[in-house]
Every structure is written in structure tokens, then in C-alpha cells.
Amino acid sequence: MPRRVLQGTVVSTKGHKTIVVNVERTTKHPIYGKIQRTSKKFHAHDEAEIGKMGDVVEIIECAPVSKLKRFELKNVVLAAGDLVTDTASDVQA
């Protein structure tokens, strides 16, 4: 069975070698057809502790590491510092 790969945003790094990743997905309501956004938080193992708050990361399913951790960090897709592109120095008067 293939391992799930999910992409989400790091919302907490307070645990030792643990990050909490918020994964959003869209679903269609079965009766009304409206598109709904749902989110779920996953605890992921981060051995090197490279995940920072606000990073967009990919996590992959693995064998249970602890009571809550069923995923591990695969890679950082977008660092939090890269999200800010417009700075005061770029704006011309």
C-alpha cells in the first residue's frame, strides 16, 4: 500500500523533534454541492528539527513513532522567510 504524502503549514514546533502540520483540503458537500474547506492537524517527526513556524512542508506516512506521530518530515517546500516578497525597500514613491 502506498504511503500518503501530505502538504501543509507548520503551526507548532514546541515539541522535541516534533512539528504540528495543518493540512487543508477541499471537499464537495454530498447533497448541496458546495465546496468546503476542511483542515486537520498532524503530528510529524522532525529528526533534524529543520521545520520552522510558517514553513510549507511535505510529510510522509510512516510507522508509529509515538502515540500521536504517524508521519515524518519529507522536505521543506517553502520556507517562512520566503513568503514575504514585498518589502518597504521595493516600493517606489
Taking Cα atoms as reference points, which of 35, 38, 44, 36 lies closest to residue 13? 44
Taking only the tens place, the pLDDT of each residue in 21-75 is 999 999 999 999 999 999 999 999 999 999 999 999 999 999 999 999 999 999 9
For the chain, report the end-to-end CA distance as a whole number of angstroms. 57
**Domain boundaries in the chain?**
5-81
Q: What is the pTM of this model?
A: 0.81
Query: Could you tell me the fold of the domain covering 5-81?
Result: OB fold (Dihydrolipoamide Acetyltransferase, E2P) (2.40.50)
* DSSP 8-class letter at 32: T
